[in-house]
Structure 1
Amino acid sequence: MADDPWQPPLILLAVDLVILTLRDAHLHVLLVERGVDPFLGVLALPGGFLRDEHEHIEAAARRELAEEAGLYDVHLESLGVYGEPGRDPRGRVVSVAYLAIAPRLPDPVAGTDAAHASWTPVDDALAHATKLAFDHRRILTDGVERARGKLEYTALATAFCAETFTISELQQVYEAVWGVQLDPRNFYRKVQGARGFIVADGPMRKTPNGRPARLFKAGPVHELNPPMTRP
Structure 2
Amino acid sequence: MTTPDRLIAWVAADIVALTLRGGALHVALVKRKAAAARGQWALPGGFLLQGESAEVAAARELEEEVGLGRAEVRLEQLGTYSAPKRDTEHSRRVISVAYLALAANLPETVAGTDAGEASWVPVDKAVKRRLAFDHPQILRDGVERARAKLEYSTIATSFLDGEFTISELRAVYEAVWGARLDAANFHRKVTGTPGFVEATGEMRRGRGRPAALFTAGSAQSLNPPLTR
TM-score when scaled to structure 2? 0.88
Aligned length: 223
Displacement of 1:68 in angstroms is 1.3
- Tell me which residue corresponds to 1:68: 65
Amino acid at match of 1:136: H
The answer (yes or no) to whether the contact 1:79–1:98 under 8 Å persists in 2 is yes
- Tell me which residue corresponds to 1:192: 191
How far apart, in 2, do the equivalents of 1:221 and 1:62 lie?
26
Superposed CA deviations along residues 126-161 of structure 1, whole A, max 9, x for unmatched, are 12xx11110001101111111112222222223333
Displacement of 1:10 in angstroms is 3.2
The answer (yes or no) to whether the contact 2:102–2:158 under 8 Å persists in 1 is no
- Tell me which residue corresponds to 1:99: 100
Deviates more, 1:220-229 or 1:92-101: 220-229
Superposed CA deviations along residues 97-124 of structure 1, whole A, max 9, x for unmatched, are 1111111222221122210111111111
1:6 aligns with 2:7: no
- Tell me which residue corresponds to 2:23: 25
- Tell me which residue corresponds to 1:15: 13
- Tell me which residue corresponds to 2:56: 59
- Tell me which residue corresponds to 1:112: 113
Displacement of 1:198 in angstroms is 2.0
How far apart, in 2, do the equivalents of 1:197 and 1:86 lie?
43
Q: Percent identity?
A: 57
What SS class does the counterpart of residue 228 from structure 1 fall into? coil
The answer (yes or no) to whether the contact 1:194–1:227 under 8 Å persists in 2 is no
How far apart, in 1, do the equivalents of 2:57 and 2:204 lie?
46
What SS class does the counterpart of residue 201 from structure 2 fall into? coil
1:134–1:189 distance in 2 versus 1, CA, 3 Å: same
1:205–1:109 distance in 2 versus 1, CA, 3 Å: closer
Displacement of 1:212 in angstroms is 3.7
Displacement of 1:194 in angstroms is 1.4
Displacement of 1:50 in angstroms is 2.0
- Tell me which residue corresponds to 1:48: 46
- Tell me which residue corresponds to 1:80: 79
Gaps of 5+ in 2: none
Displacement of 1:162 in angstroms is 4.1
The answer (yes or no) to whether the contact 2:102–2:159 under 8 Å persists in 1 is no
1:55–1:139 distance in 2 versus 1, CA, 3 Å: same
RMSD: 2.1
- Tell me which residue corresponds to 1:226: 224
Superposed CA deviations along residues 12-34 of structure 1, whole A, max 9, x for unmatched, are 21111111111111111111001
Please tell me whether Structure 1 or Structure 2 has the larger radius of gyration of its CA atoms.
1
The answer (yes or no) to whether the contact 1:193–1:226 under 8 Å persists in 2 is no
How far apart, in 2, do the equivalents of 1:206 and 1:167 lie?
14
Superposed CA deviations along residues 30-49 of structure 1, whole A, max 9, x for unmatched, are 11001133322111001112
Amino acid at match of 1:103: A
- Tell me which residue corresponds to 1:182: 181
How far apart, in 1, do the equivalents of 2:140 and 2:198 lie?
33
Displacement of 1:179 in angstroms is 1.2
TM-score when scaled to structure 1? 0.87
1:165–1:87 distance in 2 versus 1, CA, 3 Å: same
